[in-house]
Structure 1
Amino acid sequence: MKKTEVEVKLRVEDPATVPALLRQIGAAEVHSREFEDNQLYDFPSFSLKMNQSMLRVRILKRESTLTYKEAPRVEGGAKVRDEMEVVISSGETMATILSRLGMRPLFRYQKYRAVYHYSGLIITVDETPIGVFLELEGPKPLIDEVATQLGYKASDYIAKSYLALYQEYLKLRGLPLKDMLFEAP
């Protein structure tokens, strides 16, 4: 099913305070913290990347999804893009299918995510190898309202993907692009 995604990311300075802040505004946890493994795919010609579109296979313990996202635009500090997503029975099988269709893995990233709902808004807490972020997804006026309740301003909004944020992170450190993975313990 096609839908339009409107979202912002917010950098979290003190992750320990987030659950209490979300409870304080009345957000309800719908999925507790779980590990996500995400793989972006593209054709050898990089046609998706050139069009700023993306195809992602996401693997979680409870389900896997295949998501296609069209080119984003920024409106009022929020990232807006059309997307289509389907639940798939096996992320590994989907990866094989995409490979046999001529697609190649482009970028892999991992995170731990907890999901909350608040009055039509999806709030996620994403722990990544480059820091903790909140994602607010839903109607823009509600994003603004909840961001304010959580102590953020519109100037704090991040409309970039995790790939773009990671590229910036690596560039600042003079490191080459690689997958954004948690290091083995």
Structure 2
Amino acid sequence: KLYVSDLQAVAQRLEAAGAELTAPRIYERNVRYDDGMGRFSRAGSVLRLRQDTRVRLTYKADKTEVQEGVTSRSELEVEVSDFDTMEAILNRLGFYSYMIYEKYRTTYTLDGAEIVLDEMPYGNFVEIEGNMDAIRRLLPRLELDGAPRYTDSYTRLFDYVCRNLNLNIKDLTFANFESVDVPESALQTPSA
């Protein structure tokens, strides 16, 4: 993840470079689940139900590799037809929702890589998904090689923001951050 202050400038550079807009700006609602023992959270794994233009259930394993500020992890995902029914199934299987998070996402493709522009309640980010060579080529081309990089998940960064700013917020929603000014320094790992 690359922290940027101006997503519009990144979008303009993408368009000037010939990127294809594959998904215009869309609102995403994400709900994370765990079992009664908290095994997913403790293991660094994610069980997530996401609704945007589709509904998907995703399992992400713990990070397997971080190389040059790029995170790699295995992921399984299935599309489901109904958010509420899938949520009811998860609840009946013993999973509970412990966090809701929102974002707006715009997606481009360029040179075999997927570039997403994410608007989070606490800041703006760019993620580039592709092989290392494509990522290395795109960073300077999009003038992102000097942007601060974060390998933590958006929810982990949310935890850092809450701890650094002394916020008592359970869900990562735009409403919860409406009157909160979040400096980039709040994304840093809190000191003990």
TM-score by length of 2: 0.86
Which segments of 5 or more consecutive residues in structure 2 lack a partner in the other structure? 179-192
The correspondence of residues 32-181 of structure 1 with structure 2, limited to 5 A, is 32-60=24-52, 62-72=53-63, 73-153=65-145, 156-181=148-173
**CA distances 1:125-160 after superposition (whole Å, capped 9, x unpaired):** 111100111111111121121112122237732111
Aligned partners of 2:45, 2:129: CA distance in 1, in Å? 19
1:93 alignment partner, SS class: helix
Aligned partners of 1:56, 1:28: CA distance in 2, in Å? 28
Shift of 1:44: 1.1
Amino acid of the structure 2 residue aligned with 1:52: G
Question: 2:104, 2:120 within 8 Å by CA — same for their partners in 1?
Answer: yes
- Higher RCO (CA < 8 A, seq sep 6+): 1
Aligned partners of 1:96, 1:48: CA distance in 2, in Å? 19
**CA distances 1:26-46 after superposition (whole Å, capped 9, x unpaired):** 211011001000011010101
Comparing 168-177 with 93-102, greater Cα deviation is found at 168-177
Aligned partners of 2:162, 2:73: CA distance in 1, in Å? 26
Amino acid of the structure 1 residue aligned with 2:55: S
Which residue matches 1:31? 23
Q: Cα RMSD (Å) of the superposition?
A: 1.6
The structure with the greater share of residues assigned to strand is 1
Shift of 1:63: 0.7
Aligned partners of 1:154, 1:16: CA distance in 2, in Å? 17
The alpha-carbon distance between structure 1 residues 136 and 143, as it changes in their structure 2 partners (threshold 3 A), is same
Amino acid of the structure 1 residue aligned with 2:137: E
Aligned partners of 1:44, 1:137: CA distance in 2, in Å? 33
Aligned partners of 2:18, 2:36: CA distance in 1, in Å? 46
Question: 2:2, 2:147 within 8 Å by CA — same for their partners in 1?
Answer: no
The alpha-carbon distance between structure 1 residues 154 and 141, as it changes in their structure 2 partners (threshold 3 A), is farther
TM-score by length of 1: 0.90
Aligned partners of 1:84, 1:16: CA distance in 2, in Å? 31
Q: Number of residues paired by the alignment?
A: 176
Which segments of 5 or more consecutive residues in structure 1 lack a partner in the other structure? 1-8
Which residue matches 1:5? none
Aligned partners of 1:84, 1:78: CA distance in 2, in Å? 19
| Misfit runs of 4+, over 2 Å | 152-157
The alpha-carbon distance between structure 1 residues 155 and 92, as it changes in their structure 2 partners (threshold 3 A), is same
